[in-house]
Structure 1
């Protein structure tokens, strides 16, 4: 079996949420527990850190992994979805899982697939856990796929759990209210295991987390209270933070390679998690901490977080795809004070109207669709956008939208932004990769 055959088998034989949405959603842990028993509980071979939340869990997972790598540990990282290559989901010290292992695992799992019909995410979760055992990792940072309580990753027994924050997303599966969503996310809180809550602005959300933590005797840390921040300074790439906590780092500003206003919340969350890991006796020097923040994209392969891809005109992309994430993006776009060209596309099962209501009317829009079945037709997106004062043209693909935006934008002043969907960013990065290879 070749690597391409293995990937085609996975997509053909296991329902993929990334492609078909709700038809692939399979709540419950029975199948994952069955797989876990079959593979002799691979996650018992190393220490795990579990990261959930609505937004920010990707940045948080990657940065924690980068700091641990910088501290000299061998670190597994499991995240989703991928942007360009399936193997992005499973990394050890930043290196993607080998094609050979993917082929071997898929071939050996064929009988199980026929026997218990796992979802794509159930099977790939187990693939990651088995790979990390084979690779002899010291730690594995495991990102929740969706929700928490019934997510396939929730079979692990972590040394630390993190919930970055709560906002409305996947409401058809997790609930219509923030407390309902918080209850699902709180499902990753484990007995007597420290839990970090990144952002819980609503008292009723915080109450859900506190109640769950109290029931399970899980020490709870609120990142917003644990890590005071001073001034924040934007750089050409990334930003620096004044961290007012000498128990964590010395007073020199901390540079964080990731841009975007949302990273202030993520930074508090990550630092809170790292402090707890230190308290667990895990050696993390200040030098390692600074290096992890400074070099997170190089060390882990993270892409698409307020990422500037080119200049003249400036081309920026961000994977934010729900109201909470888009709200941060719009604030940052408006703060630029420059003419905006927004290439925008969404998937059909999101709160499209809620997102459109946040977008700036002053921008010129290029409505398009990602190359996945879940993508909302650009014609429908434009029609939905008009009542919000958002006007522009329809383009059948991001390539055509990008060409049009680059032709219309003034090279020295204008900004082109691409967003609304992870899958749209994936298409954009694929174009960039192809162009760079020429």
Structure 2
């Protein structure tokens, strides 16, 4: 088996949420628990921090990984989805898992796992946990894939749980209101394990009740103020909230005995991209015209994006947009600037929203633009239409951004 065949095997292990959507959602952790048993419980062989949230969990995961690495800890990082390369999901000290390791794992466990019929995500979680055990990491930063309570990663016993914020996303299986979604995310709060909550003003009571039931010390970012300001190489207004959540997590981790100094916190947050390789967060691709790509994909994320765009200086605004099918798109598009020129496209995945449906929805709320056959075609047309003083934004989903980077 070569690496391409290994990836082909993994991607065939449907359901896979990132490609097909809600069919991929599973109702329990039995498969992951069975896989971990076969692997001799690798998730119990390393310490971890578990991170969930509607938005910001990827950025906070990478910030924490950067801080731990700066402090000299051998640091694992598990995130999803990937942008360009499957191996991005599984890193140790910023280095992606090797192709050989992926191949060897599949060859070793394909037969042993066959009766369980694990999904793509369950295979990937098992691979990550085994890799982190074999690498003898000091700490693993584990990001949930979807929700919390029933997410495949929710078999770990972390040092700290972190929930960044709660918004209306993935409502088709997490619930249609903030309280229901908060209860799903709160599922990562473990017995007698501290938890940090980012922005939670509307659902604070949900987390307080869960933490009380598990005898967990709870910390809310909104309750803390600092006499210092940290800057990050990750740009965008929304990173201020993520920095606050990360800073509070650092404070709690120090109370738990982790030796991470303030200068190490400061350096880690200021060098997240360089240390971890994170992409797609208000990432500037070009300066004349200015081109920015961002993976924001829901209403809460776009509140920050649109605020940022309103403060940018440009002659004309060009928006290259594509979404996934599950989004309630017209309500979201109502917030978008009417004066911009839109280039509607769809990523090359089954879950992508049809570009013609997107155009129709945009027209219904007064947005003007055209459809294009591919993401690259849309971007190319935006570049050809833009002057040096213009601004081009690329986004709507991880998959649109991935096809440009």
TM-score (norm. length: structure 2): 0.98
Structure 2 counterpart of 1:355, from 332, 336, 354: 332
In the TM superposition, what is the alpha-carbon distance from 1:255 to its structure 2 partner?
2.2
Residue 89, structure 1, aligned to residue 65, structure 2: no
In the TM superposition, what is the alpha-carbon distance from 1:337 to its structure 2 partner?
3.9
User: Which residue number corresponds to residue 311 of structure 1?
Assistant: 287
Alpha-carbon distance between aligned partners in 2 of 1:48 and 1:357, rounded to the nearest angstrom: 41
In the TM superposition, what is the alpha-carbon distance from 1:24 to its structure 2 partner?
1.8
In the TM superposition, what is the alpha-carbon distance from 1:266 to its structure 2 partner?
0.6
SS at match of 1:115: coil
Alpha-carbon distance between aligned partners in 2 of 1:62 and 1:327, rounded to the nearest angstrom: 22
Residue 292, structure 1, aligned to residue 290, structure 2: no
User: Which residue number corresponds to residue 11 of structure 1?
Assistant: 11
Is the CA contact 1:318–1:418 (under 8 Å) kept in the aligned structure 2?
Answer: yes
User: Which residue number corresponds to residue 132 of structure 2?
Assistant: 132
User: Which residue number corresponds to residue 186 of structure 1?
Assistant: 186
Alpha-carbon distance between aligned partners in 1 of 2:373 and 2:329, rounded to the nearest angstrom: 18
Alignment of 1:229-268 (within 5 A): 243-244=226-227, 251=228, 253-268=229-244
- Structure 1 runs not aligned, ≥5 long: 229-242, 245-250, 430-438
In the TM superposition, what is the alpha-carbon distance from 1:27 to its structure 2 partner?
2.4
In the TM superposition, what is the alpha-carbon distance from 1:271 to its structure 2 partner?
0.4
Residue 340, structure 1, aligned to residue 317, structure 2: yes
User: Which residue number corresponds to residue 397 of structure 2?
Assistant: 421
- Any runs of at least 4 consecutive aligned residues in structure 1 with deviations exceeding 4 A, and if so which? none
Is the CA contact 1:13–1:113 (under 8 Å) kept in the aligned structure 2?
Answer: no
User: Which residue number corresponds to residue 199 of structure 1?
Assistant: 199
Alignment of 1:64-213 (within 5 A): 64-202=64-202, 205-213=203-211
- After superposition, the C-alpha distances for 1:95-126 in whole angstroms (9 at most, x for unaligned) are 00010110011111211342111111111011
In the TM superposition, what is the alpha-carbon distance from 1:377 to its structure 2 partner?
1.4
SS at match of 2:154: helix
User: Which residue number corresponds to residue 433 of structure 1?
Assistant: none
Alpha-carbon distance between aligned partners in 2 of 1:354 and 1:279, rounded to the nearest angstrom: 43
Aligned residues: 404
- After superposition, the C-alpha distances for 1:281-330 in whole angstroms (9 at most, x for unaligned) are 11001221111111111111110001101111111011000100011101
- After superposition, the C-alpha distances for 1:78-109 in whole angstroms (9 at most, x for unaligned) are 00000000000000000000101100111112
- Structure 2 runs not aligned, ≥5 long: none
Alpha-carbon distance between aligned partners in 2 of 1:286 and 1:180, rounded to the nearest angstrom: 37
Alpha-carbon distance between aligned partners in 2 of 1:267 and 1:7, rounded to the nearest angstrom: 34
SS at match of 2:6: helix
User: Which residue number corresponds to residue 302 of structure 2?
Assistant: 326
Alpha-carbon distance between aligned partners in 2 of 1:292 and 1:163, rounded to the nearest angstrom: 20
User: Which residue number corresponds to residue 234 of structure 1?
Assistant: none
Q: Structure 1 stretch 107-116 or stretch 282-291: which is displaced more?
A: 107-116
Residue 378, structure 1, aligned to residue 376, structure 2: no
- After superposition, the C-alpha distances for 1:176-232 in whole angstroms (9 at most, x for unaligned) are 000000000000001111000000121xx1110100001111000001212x2xxxx
Is the CA contact 2:51–2:141 (under 8 Å) kept in the aligned structure 1?
Answer: yes
CA RMSD of aligned residues (A): 1.0
Alpha-carbon distance between aligned partners in 1 of 2:188 and 2:98, rounded to the nearest angstrom: 29
Alpha-carbon distance between aligned partners in 2 of 1:373 and 1:264, rounded to the nearest angstrom: 34
User: Which residue number corresponds to residue 237 of structure 1?
Assistant: none
Alpha-carbon distance between aligned partners in 1 of 2:167 and 2:330, rounded to the nearest angstrom: 16
Alignment of 1:402-413 (within 5 A): 402-411=379-388, 413=389
Alpha-carbon distance between aligned partners in 1 of 2:365 and 2:51, rounded to the nearest angstrom: 35
TM-score (norm. length: structure 1): 0.91
Is the CA contact 2:230–2:243 (under 8 Å) kept in the aligned structure 1?
Answer: no
Is the CA contact 2:236–2:281 (under 8 Å) kept in the aligned structure 1?
Answer: yes
Compared with structure 1, are the counterparts of its residues 351 and 113 closer, same or farther at alpha carbon in structure 2 (3 Å cutoff)? farther
Alpha-carbon distance between aligned partners in 2 of 1:396 and 1:410, rounded to the nearest angstrom: 23
User: Which residue number corresponds to residue 38 of structure 2?
Assistant: 38
